[in-house]
């Protein structure tokens, strides 16, 4: 009893101390940060500074940014204005949730909508002289820019600033004219690739996961962490159609992990973070966007589809690996024991012998798991030099490329022979620098690899001879997306 009283007193004293520090820090925030980062830390010209926005960033990095500023951005250095204790207090404050939970209502979403150009007044054909279906959209994460690259000459056509921290693959209209971007701060942007012009933007949430575009090109669905839920936009101009809450059956609000389009099913499929359910929203005809709720035995928040979109392969902790769900019947078909932390969302499939196999990287162990998509059996575990994040191939490529994203060997890229399932080559494009995401040209003859470093590069390879053809210096190029491969939902790329 005495012990618990001691704990209560200590907690109360600590809380009082924190409250005082928080008060001072809140004042410092108002004085020095609010103009750029917004009232309530919701973001402005600078990014949002809520715990959800900062959770991927180490406290030391935040401290250093406040102290020294960020090069090539408007973030100034505060070392001459704030002392170390004030900066430390400010950092603690930023990682605390605001006293009033932040809200972002339909009215806020509507008020954020900006039309920047009217596509009806713009030419309806490509104005850049390059093959519109072999363009690459490259996200340069280091300084938050996007490059549109001619995929035949490997020359940039244009480069423009994006919203802070784009995440997930940009998605395309079915004809490849429009590309849609989502930023972690909730900004959705619509860009016209024919005219190399930004058309519209809207802030769909305060912390967003990703977006999906319907197979008919009419709707954009956005999945949010904060406030949790789904936002439906009109794909033509990003105007708001509606907001859908995503409560569990007990009525507790759930965050959305990710949203996907399943064109053969004419539906969106939604991964929920806090509910043991998968949601499917039909967009056929005149959609009402009412969810079909598929109950699950576990939280299935990272998944991939089979080529015809009938089955879903999901990560399931209970099944100690993966679980296969039949989207037609809603039944769990089988469990697949997969070690470590498979990153099924980054998995790819290809044809091996007579059937399809699916391979997934693993973010906690250095191995690639390969599954047979007919029997669901684990065909092989391929050891790699460390945990990986992304995989890519192309129907005309002999190899599946995978990175070693984490650990001391993160400068390596493995090329797995798609038939023998052996590592055929290991490349080190820039020794000592992180080799990451790959994407092929539409015909599969070339591929682009990102070296994820502030002094990184996009490296162009011949996919058959593996010869390096070109090196384009870039600041942390992350994902890159070939228009043709994306709109065809081509084998070997992300969907």
Q: Which residues bind ligand DHE (CB under 6 A)?
A: 56, 141, 167-169, 210, 258, 345, 389-390, 437, 478-479, 494
To ligand DHE, the closest distance from the beta carbon of 362 in angstroms equals: 12
Residue corresponding to tokens 């064109």: 263
* Cβ distance to ligand DHE smaller for residue 169 or 321: 169
To ligand DHE, the closest distance from the beta carbon of 80 in angstroms equals: 31
Distance CA 51, CA 315 (A): 26
Estimate to the nearest angstrom the gap between the alpha carbon of 205 and the chain centroid: 15
Residue 63 φ/ψ, nearest 5 degrees:
-60, -45
The two three-digit tokens of residue 203, written as one number:
């802030």
Q: In what order do the strands lie in the sheet with 171-172?
A: 114-115, 197-203, 187-192, 178-182, 171-172
The two three-digit tokens of residue 323, written as one number:
């679980």
* Cβ distance to ligand DHE smaller for residue 134 or 346: 346
* Cβ distance to ligand DHE smaller for residue 37 or 167: 167
* Cβ distance to ligand DHE smaller for residue 87 or 391: 391
* Cβ distance to ligand DHE smaller for residue 195 or 410: 410
Residue 362 near residue 340, CB atoms below 8 Å: yes
H or E stretch covering 121: none
To ligand DHE, the closest distance from the beta carbon of 13 in angstroms equals: 34
To ligand DHE, the closest distance from the beta carbon of 486 in angstroms equals: 9
* Cβ distance to ligand DHE smaller for residue 162 or 369: 162
Residue 136 near residue 149, CB atoms below 8 Å: yes
**H helices of 382-445, where?**
none
* Cβ distance to ligand DHE smaller for residue 172 or 389: 389
Distance CA 214, CA 234 (A): 10
Residue 293 near residue 301, CB atoms below 8 Å: no
To ligand DHE, the closest distance from the beta carbon of 357 in angstroms equals: 19
* Cβ distance to ligand DHE smaller for residue 227 or 477: 477
* Cβ distance to ligand DHE smaller for residue 41 or 437: 437
Q: In what order do the strands lie in the sheet with 435-440?
A: 435-440, 446-451, 456-462, 468-474
To ligand DHE, the closest distance from the beta carbon of 484 in angstroms equals: 15
Distance CA 493, CA 495 (A): 7
To ligand DHE, the closest distance from the beta carbon of 210 in angstroms equals: 4
To ligand DHE, the closest distance from the beta carbon of 483 in angstroms equals: 13
Distance CA 165, CA 162 (A): 8
To ligand DHE, the closest distance from the beta carbon of 42 in angstroms equals: 19
Distances (CA, A) of 6 to 19, 20, 226: 20, 21, 37
């Amino acid at each position: 009893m005495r012990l618990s009283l001691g704990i209560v007193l200590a907690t109360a004293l600590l809380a009082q101390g924190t409250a005082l520090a928080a008060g001072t820090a809140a004042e410092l925030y108002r004085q020095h940060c609010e103009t750029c980062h917004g009232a309530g830390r919701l973001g402005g010209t600078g990014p949002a500074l809520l715990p959800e926005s900062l959770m991927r960033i180490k406290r030391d990095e935040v401290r250093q940014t406040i102290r020294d500023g960020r090069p090539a951005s408007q973030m100034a250095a505060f070392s001459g204005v704030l002392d170390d204790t004030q900066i430390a207090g400010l950092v603690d404050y930023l990682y605390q949730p605001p006293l009033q939970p932040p809200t972002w209502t339909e009215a806020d979403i509507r008020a954020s909508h900006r039309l920047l150009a009217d596509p009806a007044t713009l030419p309806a054909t490509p104005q850049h002289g390059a093959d519109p279906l072999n363009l690459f959209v490259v996200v340069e994460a280091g300084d938050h820019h996007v490059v549109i690259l001619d995929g035949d000459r490997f020359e940039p056509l244009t480069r423009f600033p994006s919203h802070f921290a784009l995440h997930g693959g940009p998605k395309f209209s079915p004809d490849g004219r429009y590309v849609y971007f989502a930023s972690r701060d909730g900004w959705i942007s619509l860009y016209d690739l024919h005219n190399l012009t930004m058309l519209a933007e809207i802030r769909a949430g305060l912390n967003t996961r990703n977006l999906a575009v319907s197979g008919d090109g009419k709707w954009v669905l956005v999945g949010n962490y904060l406030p949790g839920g789904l936002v439906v936009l009109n794909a033509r101009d990003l105007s708001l159609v509606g907001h859908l809450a995503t409560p569990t059956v007990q009525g507790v609000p759930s965050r959305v992990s990710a949203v996907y389009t399943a064109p053969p099913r004419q539906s969106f499929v939604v991964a929920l973070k806090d509910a043991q359910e998968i949601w499917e929203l039909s967009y056929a005809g005149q959609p009402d966007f009412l969810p079909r709720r598929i109950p699950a035995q576990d939280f299935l928040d990272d998944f991939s589809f089979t080529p015809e979109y009938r089955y879903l392969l999901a990560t399931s902790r209970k099944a100690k690996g993966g679980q296969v769900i039949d989207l037609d019947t809603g039944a769990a078909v089988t469990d697949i024991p997969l070690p470590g932390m498979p990153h099924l969302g980054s998995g790819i499939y290809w044809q091996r012998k007579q059937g399809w196999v699916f391979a997934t990287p693993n973010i906690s162990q250095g191995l690639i798991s390969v599954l047979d998509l007919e029997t669901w059996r684990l065909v092989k575990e391929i050891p790699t030099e460390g945990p990986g994040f992304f995989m890519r191939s192309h129907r005309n490529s002999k190899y599946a490329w995978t990175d070693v994203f984490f650990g001391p060997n993160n400068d390596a890229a493995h090329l797995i022979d798609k038939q023998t399932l052996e590592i055929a080559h290991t490349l080190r494009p820039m020794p000592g620098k992180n080799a990451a995401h790959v994407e092929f040209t539409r015909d599969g003859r070339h591929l682009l690899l990102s070296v994820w470093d502030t002094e990184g590069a996009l490296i162009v390879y011949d996919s058959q001879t593996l010869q390096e053809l070109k090196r384009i210096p870039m600041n942390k190029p992350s994902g890159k997306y070939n228009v043709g491969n994306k709109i065809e939902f081509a084998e070997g790329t992300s969907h």
